[in-house]
Amino acid sequence: MKTKKSLLRFILMITVILVLVNIASDSYFFRLDFTADKRYTLSDATLDILKSMKQPVTVKAYFSEDLPPDIAKVKRDFKELLIEYANRSKGKIVYEFINPNAKEELENQAMQAGVHPVMINVRDKDQMKQQKAYLGALLQMGDKTDAIPFMQPGAAMEYALSSSIKKLSVSDKPVVGLLQGHGEPALQAMQQVYAALSVLYTVEPVTLSDTAPIPDHIRTLAIIDPKDSIPGSHLQLLEQFYAKGKNIFIAYSHLTADFSTASGSTRNTGIEQWLASKGIRLEDQFIVDADCGAITVQQQQGGYMFNTQMQFPYFPKISKFEDHPVTKGIEQVILQFPCPVRYTGDSSMQFVSILKSGQKTGTQPAPAYFNIQKQWAEADFPLPGLTIGAAITGKQGSNRSKMVIISTGNFATNGEGQQAMQLPPDHVNLMVNAIDWLSDDTGLIDLRTKGVTSRPLNATEDSAKTFYKFLNFLLPILVIVIYGFVRSQRRRMQRIRRMEESYV
């Protein structure tokens, strides 16, 4: 009887504790985050944005119901994020979830808000069918609105939400200039970069004039792959801009290729000499890497022509990055025809390598002939870790300036018309991260890549893959068997004790 009362008292105490914890959870939000990149912990940048909010923000989340588990997780994660935002903002974030599939009126409302449906595959009664799904939100602050059209599974959800709130609350965006007039790509040829930059910046083209300096309202100037010579007077304007404490991003292909002749050569626009005056040298050598991208080659067999994908060491594949804000969170980029970047200046400038080739790399002097049939050997890759991109900081007179230089220029360009292509997200992130580091002091740069796109196992051997596969399958079964055996043994020992004469 005493044992029964103790059990009831224990159950009552646990119930009271759970009720009190539940009541406290309405006022205090607490969550443990054991992920490596702390993806479930709000960043300092987000907390600063929430603290500085002067007006409430209403979030209308348009999410469909009855989605497949992997997509339904997006809704669950977004809701948990909104709960934390609401708590941390002390009620200034107000949200509601709407199912646009429920009524045609709600569906029209979602599309008018800028949230458009996507078609997903779902299984219904052992059949695959397509279903219209909504995964977006509309944010409103006063009379200003901003839409998140589609929340991509695995995307940087906190960045999308925080940058949208920042976009609504900021009145004057910093201006990023895009140099034009020397064969650089136009804004229309950089659609993905332009869309990403437009969230926090005003992006405008800048055409230099011999009689006028670069406008002072431009915080950072982006120079993307000029192909024509830059006059000395324009380089002087660039020098004056940099000396004022302004920032410059340069993505420039010092080496060019002509696939019709299978040859590559150097280019000289004048930017090389300007960089050399800063102690930054672009080498007349192609970087080749054993870990590389591929090109499509036409081959003839019999009377037929067919396309073949072939590894091309002149396209280094970079998957390991230096610890720097520009490359934080980026997982892989493939760069075409980069050259080594070398610093020859003094210690007054800080030169940091942010992009390096892999462990098996080498160089080929320019001009070069691209032999597609070449059988590459270990001896061709004796130089690991060649610098492809760098961040430079230092004083220019009494002002402090920053620069990012990447020795290839087309990685963030979509192209125009029928030649336009979709870029990998990390190619866009690399340039936008660099602009953020140069221009932005909000800290949102850390959030842009706060999403998981690829987490492959380090072990790539077939034997290791087989081991992990069977471990994943057999371990749960083994745990259950061990638990059953231990439980059976305990009950057996209890029966033996009860059969003893001394048992009462």
Question: CATH number of the domain that 227 lies in?
Answer: 3.40.50.880
pLDDT in tens, the chain (504 residues): 556 667 677 778 888 787 776 666 555 555 555 555 556 677 777 888 888 888 899 999 999 988 888 888 889 889 989 998 998 888 899 999 999 988 899 999 999 999 988 888 777 666 777 788 899 999 999 888 988 888 877 667 888 898 888 888 877 788 999 999 999 999 999 999 998 888 788 999 999 988 789 999 999 999 999 999 999 999 999 999 999 999 999 999 999 999 889 999 999 999 999 999 999 999 999 999 999 999 988 777 767 777 888 999 999 999 888 888 898 878 899 999 999 999 998 888 899 999 999 999 999 999 999 998 899 999 999 999 999 999 999 887 788 899 999 999 999 898 887 778 888 989 998 999 999 899 866 666 666 666 544 455 554 456 666 777 777 778 888 888 888 888 888 888 877 777 766 655
Q: Is residue 475 assigned to a domain?
A: no
- Structural domain contains residue 16: no
Q: Are residues 390 and 254 in the same domain?
A: yes
The residue among 168, 184, 202 that closes a domain is: 168
**CA distance to 14, 235, 289, 383, per residue, from 386 (Å):** 61, 28, 10, 7
| Domain ranges, residue 351 | 173-448
- Give me the pLDDT at residue 346, please: 85
- State whether 108 and 257 are in the same domain: no
Based on the fold, state whether residues 178 and 108 are members of the same structural domain: no
Q: Are residues 98 and 188 in the same domain?
A: no
- Residue 463 is predicted with a pLDDT of 66
**Does residue 159 sit in the same domain as residue 179?**
no
Distance CA 13, CA 22 (A): 14
Same domain (yes/no): 280, 344: yes
Q: Pick from 400, 416, 448: which residue ends a domain?
A: 448
- Asked if 251 and 220 touch (Cβ cutoff 8 Å), the reply is no
Q: How far is CA 394 from the centre of its chain?
A: 27
- 219 within some domain: yes
CA distance 411 to 419: 14
Amino acid 118: pLDDT = 85
The reply to whether 469 falls in a domain is: no
Question: For 124, phi and psi rounded to 5 degrees?
Answer: -135, 115
Q: Within 13 Å, how many C-alpha atoms sit on residue 496's CB side?
A: 6
Asked if 392 contacts 278 with a C-beta cutoff of 8 angstroms, the reply is yes
The contacts of residue 169 (CB under 8 Å, 6+ apart) are 49, 52, 53, 54, 55, 141
Tell me how many domains the chain contains.
Answer: 2
pTM greater than 0.85: no
Q: How far is CA 435 from CA 55, 177, 374, 402, 429, in A?
A: 28, 11, 39, 11, 10
Within-domain flag for 498: no
Q: Are 152 and 217 part of one and the same domain?
A: no
255 and 383 within one domain: yes
Q: How far apart are CA 55 and CA 144, in angstroms?
A: 11
Same domain as 220, residue 124: no
Give the SS3 label for residue 379.
helix
Clarify whether residues 392 and 252 are in a common domain.
yes
Do both 158 and 35 map to the same domain? yes
| 164 CB-side CA count, 13 A | 22
- The conformation of residue 89, written as its DSSP 8-state character, comes to T
Specify if 488 maps to a domain: no
Token digits for 464? Answer: 């290791």
In a domain, 503, yes or no: no
CATH at 98:
3.40.30.10
Inter-helix orientation angle 157-169/44-51, to 10° = 30
Measured distance CA(193)–CA(179) in Å, rounded: 15
Which of the listed residues 141, 168, 195 is the one where a domain comes to its end? 168
Name the CA dihedral angle for 486, 492, 493, 494, rounded to a multiple of 10 degrees: 110
Work out the number of other CB atoms within 10 angstroms of the CB of residue 106: 15
Preceding peptide of 367 cis, ω within 30°: yes
Is the same domain home to 291 and 244?
yes
387 within a domain of the structure (yes/no): yes
Q: 118: buried, middle or exposed (CB in 10 Å: 19+, 13-18, 0-12)? A: middle
- Work out whether the CA dihedral 321, 325, 329, 331 comes out positive or negative: negative
